[in-house]
């Protein structure tokens, strides 16, 4: 059947294309065998699916002898002016695009009791159905689908349209051929549409919205590229990049968190494909690829590389980043910086060692002085003690005689005084050297050493 015709902007479940018992009492009486009834000039043959805003019917146009698919607005929404405008907008958007990868619209009747669109009937399944059925897709299939979607979006963007609801359920895979079609332009807007730039307006499917779309900010064509990246992630991983229990939880993850690495989810994905998808899903539009045509070219080159890697190198944009070689100027600068640091270290270290040695010499001199003073005092005490003892024991005349004789201990005391004076002189010299050194240490270094 036609595949997914899911319209509801906040429905997280993919459309189920299996036939259902759907009320078709709005149809006119049938005029052909096996017909459920007529809708305008179209014989309705069967219900092939339904979505949040309506149903898809298989029909036949006798005048043109061709099968068609008819998308009908749900009865409970028929009184909604916004829903009717959406039908008309989808037809108008598809009419101006005219691209092989965009589902065309044959006609629209937005004034009928239940508005409807007439489209080609194609044996197909949606990408969402394919993922639900087989899980992760092969790399070549992901690239082919991505290439065709990028081309379809490039055609829409060239007409000034932003799709706003790119998701697996809106991508149809035609059976028997490797063709993918982008459908459901019901949320499409012109880039310069005032309603598109009004803050607080959120429309689309939460799991595949861009961050700016989730916030209700102004968007442009790069929003569709984020959604395309999310679709390719889902095709590679077998599940959406952002999941949560509620729509609000999903929107918060889209705006605030990074999805799990695609290489962790599916190690079979080439690194270069992961790089492309990560770039498409950059949080800031400025960090993404800037237009769908560039993405299409990269995907086309990637397919050629995957099939003939020797003949077709990877695009530069998809090659893993390598460490940049260090230039000779950088090496010279690093060596100069290292030498400067070494010189400063040596100068500071030398001054510190000199200061330590001088301080040690000064301390040794002071210790020698203290020892000399102690010896001098000890000897003086011994001399005085000897004199006192001699005075107490000597005869008076002998004391007189001794008094006029030179006293040998006193001479020794004089020699000690002289030696103490020499030590004091040496200590003064060392003290001056120490003061000069301290003055030099606090004097600023010359300018050439500071540079």
Which DSSP letter does residue 325 get? Answer: P
- Sign of the Cα pseudo-torsion (186, 192, 195, 199, in order): positive
Burial of 283: CB neighbours in 10 Å, binned 0-12, 13-18, 19+: middle
For 139-220, strand residue ranges (E) read: 161-162, 171-174, 179-182, 189-190
Distances from the Cα of 216 to the Cαs of 185, 203, 444, in angstroms?
Answer: 19, 8, 62
Question: What 3-state DSSP class applies to 68?
Answer: strand
Q: What does the buried/exposed string (b/e) look like for 391-404 if buried means 16 or more CB atoms within 10 Å of the residue's CB?
A: eeeeeeeeeeeeee
What one-character-per-residue DSSP string does 94-154 give? HHHH--TTB----EEETTSSS-EEEEE---EEEHHHHHHHH-SPPHHHHHHHHHHHHHHHH
Catalytic residue check, 165 = yes
Task: Say which residues have a Cβ less than 8 Å from residue 282's Cβ, sequence separation at least 6.
Answer: 226, 288
Which listed residue (4, 109, 141, 165) is catalytic? 165
**What whole-number distance in Å separates Cα of residue 79 and Cα of residue 388?**
138
Which DSSP letter does residue 360 get? Answer: H
For 369-451, strand residue ranges (E) read: none
Nearest to 440 by CA among 354, 362, 346, 345: 354
The residues that are catalytic are 165
């Amino acid at each position: 059947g036609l595949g997914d015709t899911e319209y509801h902007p906040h429905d997280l479940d993919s459309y189920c294309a299996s036939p259902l018992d759907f009320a078709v009492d709005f149809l006119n009486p049938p005029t052909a065998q096996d017909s459920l009834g007529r809708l305008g000039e179209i014989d309705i043959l069967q219900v092939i699916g339904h979505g949040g805003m309506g149903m898809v019917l298989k029909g036949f146009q006798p005048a043109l002898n061709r099968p068609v698919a008819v998308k009908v607005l749900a009865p409970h929404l028929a009184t909604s002016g916004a829903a009717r405008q959406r039908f008309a907008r989808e037809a108008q958007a598809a009419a101006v695009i005219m691209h092989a990868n965009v589902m065309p619209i044959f006609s629209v009747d937005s004034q009928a009791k239940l508005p409807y669109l007439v489209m080609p009937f194609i044996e197909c399944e949606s990408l969402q159905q394919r993922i639900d059925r087989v899980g992760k897709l092969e790399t070549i299939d992901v690239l082919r689908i991505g290439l065709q979607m990028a081309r379809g979006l490039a055609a829409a963007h060239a007409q000034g349209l932003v799709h706003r609801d790119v998701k697996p359920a809106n991508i149809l895979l035609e059976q028997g051929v490797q063709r993918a079609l982008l459908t459901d332009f019901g949320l499409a807007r012109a880039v310069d549409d005032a309603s598109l730039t009004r803050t607080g307006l959120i429309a689309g499917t939460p799991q595949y919205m861009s961050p700016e779309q989730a916030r209700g900010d102004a968007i442009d064509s790069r929003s569709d590229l984020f959604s395309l990246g999310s679709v390719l992630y889902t095709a590679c991983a077998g599940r959406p990049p952002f999941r949560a229990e509620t729509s609000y939880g999903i929107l918060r993850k889209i705006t605030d968190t990074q999805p799990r690495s695609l290489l962790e989810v599916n190690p079979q994905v080439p690194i270069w494909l992961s790089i492309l998808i990560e770039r498409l899903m950059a949080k800031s539009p400025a960090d993404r690829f800037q237009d769908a045509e560039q993405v299409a070219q990269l995907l086309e080159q990637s397919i050629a590389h995957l099939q003939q890697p020797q003949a077709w190198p990877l695009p530069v944009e998809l090659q893993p980043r390598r460490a940049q070689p260090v230039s000779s100027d950088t090496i010279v600068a690093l060596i100069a910086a290292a030498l400067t640091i070494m010189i400063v270290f040596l100068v500071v270290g030398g001054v510190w060692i000199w200061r330590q040695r001088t301080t040690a010499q000064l301390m040794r001199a002071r210790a020698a002085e203290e020892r000399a003073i102690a010896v001098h005092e000890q000897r003086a005490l011994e001399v005085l003690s000897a004199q006192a003892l001699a005075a107490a024991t000597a005869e008076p005349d002998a004391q007189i005689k001794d008094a006029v004789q030179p006293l040998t201990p006193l001479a020794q005391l004089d020699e000690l005084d002289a030696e103490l004076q020499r030590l004091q002189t040496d200590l003064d010299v060392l003290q001056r050297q120490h003061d000069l050194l301290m003055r030099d240490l606090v004097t600023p270094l010359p300018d050439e050493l500071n540079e």
